[in-house]
Amino acid sequence: MARGNHLLIVINCTIAALFFTLHCIGCTAAVRGSSDRDGKGQWQLLLNNTGVVAMHMALTHHNTVIMFDQTEAGPSGHRLRRRYNGTRCTDSRNDLADSSCYAHSVEYNISDNKLRLLGLSTDTWCSSGSFLSNGTLLQTGGHENGARRIRLFRPCGGNDTCDWKESGQSLANDRWYASNLLLPDEDRVIVVGGRRIFTYEFIPKQYSNEGSFDLPFLHNTYERSEGGNNLYPFLHICPNGRLFIFANRDSILFNYRENRVVKHFPRIPGDGSRNYPSSGSSVILPLDHTNSFERAEVMVCGGAANGAYSAAREQGMFLKGLSSCGRMVITGNRHKWNMENMPGPRLLSDMLLLPTGDVLIINGAKCGSGGWNNARNASLEPYLYHPNKTLGRRFSVLKSTRIARMYHSSAILLPDGRVLVAGSNPHNRYRFNNVAYPTELRLQAFVPDYMGSQHHQFRPSNVTIHYGHGDSNGVWYGGEFNVSFWLGRKPSNAVEFTAYAPPFATHSISMNQRLLRLRCKTLVRGKGGWVLAVLEAPPSPSVAPSGYYLLTVVNGGIPSLSQWIRIL
C-alpha cells in the first residue's frame, strides 16, 4: 500500500540522476529472451493435512485463503469441543459421528503456512460467493438449511477476531449449484440458477418485497436426465454493463436492469455440455486499455460428452470428456465461436488468468462427469494457454502432479505468483481407503516457470503503490496513481501493468475472476534501478467492479510479486 517515505526516496533518486522517460505499452508483444516460456514449472507440498476439503476457496486482501466444505460431510480433520450453538461435544458415539462437532472451514495464512479454524452453522454444499468492495466475502446458498442463507466473512488479517456471520436476510429461492457475480452497481450481487431453480435474484434487494425473477433461458437449457447440465452457469460482466450468461451449450447477453435478453449468441459447436455436472470451465480473457476496454472475449473449455452423467451414474461407464475450447467476442455485432483443441480431454478443471495474461488449466479428470464417483482418469498435467500466439501453438503441457484433484477440488492464484491447489473428494463423506480416489487433504502450490530463480534478474521487486491527492483508501475510476519498483535490468518495451480480481473458486467456476491491462502514462527510471510509473485506473465499474485487485508489474513476461490496490 502507500508508503510515503519510499516515494520520497524514489523521487530524490530520480531528480538527482540523469534519467529518461519511456512510453509504457499495454500489449504483451514478443516475449524477450529473458523469459523461458517453455519451462514446465514445479510443485510444492505445503501441508499434509488441511483437515477440511477445499470444495470452496477464496483469497482475501489480507493474504489469507478461506477454504470450506459442506457442513454435512461427517467428521472432518478438526474436531471441536463445542458446537457452534454452544452445546458441548462429548466422546459419545453419536457426537463422534456428528458433523456439527467438527470444523468445516479454515483460514490459511500464506506467510506462515498455518491454519485457523472457522465456524459455519449452515450447510454450504455447492454454494457460491463474491467479494464486496470492502473485501468482505458474501457467500450464498447451499443445501437444505443453507439453501437460502446469506453468509459474510470480513477478513481481519489472520487473527482470531473474524469469523463467518449469518446475515439476517434470506434468499428468495433455494440456491444449490447457483452462480454469483458482483455487478457494476455499488455492492450489488446477482445470484443465478440452482438445481431445478430457473430464476435469478439480487443482494441486496431494491425494495422490501422484491423476490426472484424468472429466466426462461434456464428452462430452455435444462436437461433433466443429465442432472441439469446448466447448473453453475458461467457469468461475465461486459464492459457495457450487460451480463453474459452461458448454460449447457448456449449463451445470451442479458440486460439485468430491464430483465431483458439483448441477444442470443450462436451455440458453441460440438456435442456434449459445458456446465455442471458436465463441468467445463470459462474465463473472460484479459481486458485491455489499448482498445479502451471495449472489446471482451470469453473462452469456454472442456466438459462432458452427451450422456456422460447418466452413463457414469447408472451404468458405471465413464465416457471420454471434451477436448475442445471455444473463444467468442461478446462485444460488437459479429459473434462466432472459434474452436481449438486442448492437448487432451478435460473436465472438473479450474481455469485461472495469470499475471502474464496466459490461462492456466489445472486439476480435473479425463473421463466421466461431475457428481459422486462419476469421473475417472485424473488430469495430472496442467495446461498453459497463450491467447496471443497463433492457432496450433497456444497450448503447452506443464509438469505433472502426483496428486489427483477430482470432484470438489479448487485452485486460486496467490499474490506471490504461485497457484494454490487443494481439495478433491468424490464421496459424500471423508473416505481415505479402498476407493479409486480417496478424500484429499494435502495442500499444494504449483509454481509457474515465470517464478523460477533463473528469472529473478528480470523480475521487478519492491513494488509499492502510491495513491494520489492524499487519498490512502484507493484510486478513483479514471484517476492516476503512481507505482514505484526496483528493476535491475533496463525495462524493455514489454513492461506492462495488470490488475487482477481474485475469484471465488468452486466446481470449476472462478466467479468474478477478471484481469485488466492498465494504461501506463509515463515510466521514469532513476539511479540504482528504481523506476516510477504513472498509471491510469480503469474508467468505470462495468470494466472493473469496485473492490480489491492484485496489481502486478510484468517485465518481458516475468511478473513481480503482486500488491493489493483498491479501486473505488
Half-sphere exposure of 375 (CA within 13 A, CB side): 37
Q: Which three cell numbers stand for residue 257?
A: 436492469
At residue 38, the pLDDT reads 52
Q: For 163-195, how does the pLDDT look when each residue is reduced to its tens digit (9 = 90+)?
A: 999 999 999 999 999 999 999 998 999 999 999
Q: What is the DSSP letter of 15?
A: H
CATH number for the segment(s) 4-35+453-567? 2.60.40.10
At residue 159, the pLDDT reads 73
At residue 86, the pLDDT reads 86
At residue 527, the pLDDT reads 83
Widest pairwise Cα distance in the chain: 76
Nearest to 376 by CA among 402, 348, 352: 348
Query: Using only C-alpha atoms, what is the Rg of the chain?
Result: 23
In angstroms, the CA 121 to CA 151 distance is: 10
Residue 415 carries which side chain, given as an amino acid letter?
P
In sequence order, the 6+-apart residues with CB closer than 8 A to the CB of 275 are 228, 229, 230, 231, 232, 233, 234, 246, 247, 248, 303
In angstroms, the CA 122 to CA 68 distance is: 12
Residue 420 carries which side chain, given as an amino acid letter?
L
Q: What is the DSSP string of 221-267?
A: T-BGGGTBS-BS-EEEE-TTS-EEEEETTEEEEEETTTTEEEEEPPP
Note whether 544 and 498 are within 8 A (CB). Answer: no
At residue 24, the pLDDT reads 44
In angstroms, the CA 184 to CA 205 distance is: 15
Q: In the chain, which stretches have pLDDT less than 70?
A: 1-38, 158, 469-471, 490-493
Q: What is the DSSP letter of 503?
A: P
φ, ψ at 546 (rounded to 5°): -55, 135
| C-alpha separations of 451 from 37, 354, 401, 460 in Å | 11, 12, 18, 12
Note whether 189 and 183 are within 8 A (CB). Answer: yes
Q: What angle do CA 496, 502, 507 make, to 5 degrees?
A: 130
φ, ψ at 430 (rounded to 5°): -75, 120
Residue with cell 462429548: 90
At residue 156, the pLDDT reads 92
Classify residue 258 by burial, with Cβ atoms within 10 Å: 0-12, 13-18, 19+.
exposed
In angstroms, the CA 273 to CA 263 distance is: 21
At residue 488, the pLDDT reads 85
Note whether 140 and 125 are within 8 A (CB). Answer: no
pTM of the model: 0.93
Sheet (strand 149-153) strand order:
128-131, 137-140, 149-153, 165-170
- Can you give the residue ranges of every domain in the chain? 4-35+453-567
In angstroms, the CA 115 to CA 68 distance is: 12
At residue 562, the pLDDT reads 98
In angstroms, the CA 355 to CA 382 distance is: 17
Q: Which three cell numbers stand for residue 254?
A: 442479458
At residue 84, the pLDDT reads 81
Q: Dihedral sign, CA of 242, 245, 251, 255?
A: negative
563 bridge partner residues: 551
Residue 154 carries which side chain, given as an amino acid letter?
R
Nearest to 211 by CA among 177, 178, 243, 170: 170
Note whether 214 and 195 are within 8 A (CB). Answer: no
In angstroms, the CA 150 to CA 142 distance is: 10
Buried b (16+ CB within 10 A) or exposed e, 450-483: bbbeebeebbbebbbbbbeeeeeebbebebbbbb
At residue 53, the pLDDT reads 98
Note whether 259 and 192 are within 8 A (CB). Answer: no
At residue 17, the pLDDT reads 33
